[in-house]
Structure 1
Amino acid sequence: MDFHAVWNTEERQQAAHHSRLLHSRRGVLAIAQGDRPRGCGYHSASSPGGGGIGGGGGGGGSYASPSSQSDPFPCFSRFLTDLNKTETASGWISDLELMHHYTSVSYRTFSHSSEAQKALQYDVPREALSYPFLLHQLLAFSAYHLAYLQPDCRHAYLMQAAQHQNDAINGMRGALLGAISPTNCHALFASSIFLTLSAFATYPSYEKYNPTFSPVDGMLDIFTLSDGMSAILRSSDDDIRKGPLREIFVRGCAGGDGDDDGDATATPADVEPSLQPLFDRLPRLSARLGEVLGRTTTTTTMTTTTMTTTTTAGNCGREGRKYTITSAIIALSESIAKVSTINIMSAPAEFRAVFMWPILLSTDYMDMLRLRQPAALVVLAHYCVIIHLAEPFCWFLTGWTRALVSVISEHLTGTPWEELVLWPMEIVGLGAYEPQLERMVHAMPITL
């Protein structure tokens, strides 16, 4: 498909969208007024409010998507936005602004490898000309980045991001309903990468301003998306590694040929130095959580205002809980080991560990996390250390660590579980051992 065909298709979609807006008075006003904020680039309109843009849990609008019973790809649902309630439509000039920003700035924001950056700047957009769903997701990612860089203009950019992400997801659904082939798997995998990056990007670009946002639910949505896309595309792994985007996704051992996954068993001396303290701590954490879980049949948690007792989802037996939590910790350790022993120049080890752990998680662990089971929250707090280490070179991760650890700490305050998150709090800069321990001496004991 050539460039003109892609953009002619886009113009027809925009015309249809404008026609829908003309059925409402607010749509007519939005189109007539043009509502472009000063200094915010070329936007055909902007949203006057702050609600519901982007993915993630808590507070976001929901797109009219198939029900969970009929939707073959439910991992996408939380990242669709209902644009029938908005007052904006993206124009081709603003789309060109987004593409310009991607090819001049955004492509450089998650890889320091010159080979990978070249592929991201030239090869990915070239592939996107044949697959509009990838083109839409690139534009959505660029719009999220601009919303992050220009917070005063974020509503206009977020509206564009939502519109393009909706189109990307709908296009991906259509492609996935057909056959995943050696031809289209590259665009699908690239789209899944940028969709996941965009899911993370909703927090620093928008959700940090949203008081109703739940960081834990938002992270669960990202985990579900990552796991779903990984399962869908796993059969195309060999094609992806040898395809036109191989410079981005290539894997291999140091000195290897790029086709070997390497040995995922790392010794303490092999671990990436920045990840070493966490790697060393995980066996002790597993033993401690195993001891506590071995004494419980139900879990009682207390916040500052309420106390609730819940049973674990999934396999709710004592040994089942221990197995689920131990498996999650082992997966975290294996993630660190794998990114440490496999040499990939296209992305830092910390960045890769952020995305590796979610695809190794069990549904039982995610069910425990969804119910805010203390043991699951403790493990998540330790995963946040990896996000914290990756934040300095990944703008889309900015703020996630403090948001998550703050919520986890608040949830566990006044319970025996609190001591198990002191170290992550210290690492991310949310506490110090001495003040925390002093306060814990006077904390109300909760019967396990």
Structure 2
Amino acid sequence: MQPSQEERCQFYNATGTLSQRAEMARLWQSIVPEEAIACPFLIHGMLAVSALHVAGRRPSHRFRYERCCRQHQNQAIPEYRQAIQTISTDSVGRIFAMSYLVSILSLAAVSDNALRDEERHTEMQTSIDDIMAVVTVIRGIHAIVRPAHLRRRLMNSPYVILLTGHSPLSSSQRASLPAHVPSRYQMLRDECLKDLIAPNDHEVYKLCTEAIDLLEKVHRDVFSVKPLEDAEFSYLVKWIALVPSGFVTLIRERHAAALVILGDFAVIFKWLENIWFLKNWAANALRAIREATSPAGREWLNAVSCF
């Protein structure tokens, strides 16, 4: 099944920013549809994202397009999961493109463009489980490009544009953060961790410190993109992919310190909320994190709202 030219343009408008459209046009309008002839899950992924985008832009027809989004997701995801099990250098581009679409759909579930309750057609309240779903998806994407031979293949293909933001910037490319931002990170290290972690729990302290250090670097990478509105969301979500697995376990276990750090990560999304699938992402995520953490953790999260 091939998408029409109108559907291709709609999908492209849904995923690109002004500065990326020239570079990504050939990929999404020519290369991906051509390769998708033998890869139906990729076509269904494109149509799912397109339908979700239109649902947010046409409120009077929102139910129709949400249903369309669900139908295409249901057809795409099982075959995509099966393909991940046998990735080769020939298929990695198509699979990585699909992983990009899946990341959009998972991030959108935390935004104001989230799919509504299918039976009652009412807005869904963001939960910590929605954020954990994003964590699972992003870490899965990182696993796809971890093998050196697969990453080399992507680097030497048109799909390389999708790797934007996945690699750290050099020291010469990085801008200095406003003074209050490093101060916040230092406060997390010096005061927050001591407040929320038991004195003898050295492993938890180490995991949280590593997560803070990495978040500060990622924060600087995002801030270094000029104009900031053109930053790819991958600049930010790579933090999820790179934090230690033990830290992810702490989030799942609702450890207060880990949730506070996750809240600092979430608030950076305010910079990227011009992207339709990240609309009000920071506020929705912070609300869910606050509900999941302890009273002591909420006190630290209250300070992050002005971060």
**TM-score, scaled to structure 2:** 0.82
Match of 1:128 in 2: 36
Match of 2:48 in 1: 140
Match of 2:248 in 1: 366
Q: Which amino acid aligns with 1:383?
A: F
What does 1:339-418 align with in structure 2 at a 5 Å threshold?
Answer: 339=222, 348-349=230-231, 351-392=233-274, 394-409=275-290, 415-418=295-298
Q: Which amino acid aligns with 2:154?
A: I
What secondary structure is seen at the aligned counterpart in 2 of 1:245?
Answer: helix
CA contact (8 A) 1:98 1:143 kept: no
Q: 2:302 aligns with which of 422, 430, 435?
A: 422
Q: Which amino acid aligns with 2:143?
A: A
Whether 1:176 aligns to 2:56 is: no
Q: Which amino acid aligns with 2:114?
A: Y
Structure with the bigger RCO (C-alpha within 8 Å, sep 6+) is 2
CA contact (8 A) 2:48 2:69 kept: yes
CA contact (8 A) 2:48 2:73 kept: yes
Q: Which amino acid aligns with 1:288?
A: E
How far did 1:408 drift? 3.4
Q: Within 1, Cα distance between the matches of 2:74 and 2:179?
A: 40
How far did 1:246 drift? 2.6
What does 1:20-419 align with in structure 2 at a 5 Å threshold?
Answer: 98-99=7-8, 101-103=10-12, 105-108=13-16, 110=17, 112-119=19-26, 120-178=28-86, 180-202=87-109, 203-207=111-115, 210=122, 213-235=125-147, 236-249=150-163, 263=170, 270-271=174-175, 277-294=180-197, 296=198, 318-339=201-222, 348-349=230-231, 351-392=233-274, 394-409=275-290, 415-419=295-299
Match of 1:300 in 2: none
1:143 to 1:191, Cα distance in 2 relative to 1, 3 A:
same
How far did 1:114 drift? 4.2
Q: Within 2, Cα distance between the matches of 1:424 and 1:216?
A: 17
Which protein is bigger by CA-based radius of gyration? 1
Match of 1:308 in 2: none
1:388 to 1:350, Cα distance in 2 relative to 1, 3 A:
farther
Task: Tell me how large the CA RMSD over aligned residues is.
Answer: 3.3
Q: Within 2, Cα distance between the matches of 1:238 and 1:338?
A: 23
Q: Within 1, Cα distance between the matches of 2:230 and 2:33?
A: 23
| Structure 1 residue ranges without an equivalent (≥5) | 1-5, 8-91, 253-259, 298-316, 428-448
Q: Within 2, Cα distance between the matches of 1:418 and 1:102?
A: 39
How far did 1:418 drift? 3.6
Q: Within 1, Cα distance between the matches of 2:11 and 2:62?
A: 16
Q: Which amino acid aligns with 2:267?
A: V
Superimposed CA distance per residue, residues 241-292 of structure 1 (whole angstroms, 9 cap, x where no aligned partner):
211223443579xxxxxxx8653x58xx93365x775345212212212321
Q: Which amino acid aligns with 1:241?
A: M
What secondary structure is seen at the aligned counterpart in 2 of 1:205?
Answer: coil
Identity %: 23
CA contact (8 A) 2:113 2:279 kept: no
Superimposed CA distance per residue, residues 409-436 of structure 1 (whole angstroms, 9 cap, x where no aligned partner):
45568x3434422332225xxxxxxxxx
CA contact (8 A) 2:116 2:124 kept: no
CA contact (8 A) 1:141 1:161 kept: yes
Structure with more of its chain in helix, by fraction: 2
Q: Within 2, Cα distance between the matches of 1:177 and 1:417?
A: 39
Q: Which amino acid aligns with 2:281?
A: W
| Structure 2 residue ranges without an equivalent (≥5) | none
Q: Within 1, Cα distance between the matches of 2:94 and 2:51?
A: 20
How far did 1:321 drift? 1.8
Consecutive aligned runs of 4 or more in structure 1 exceeding 6 Å deviation: none
1:177 to 1:344, Cα distance in 2 relative to 1, 3 A:
farther
CA contact (8 A) 2:208 2:257 kept: yes
Q: Within 1, Cα distance between the matches of 2:158 and 2:296?
A: 52
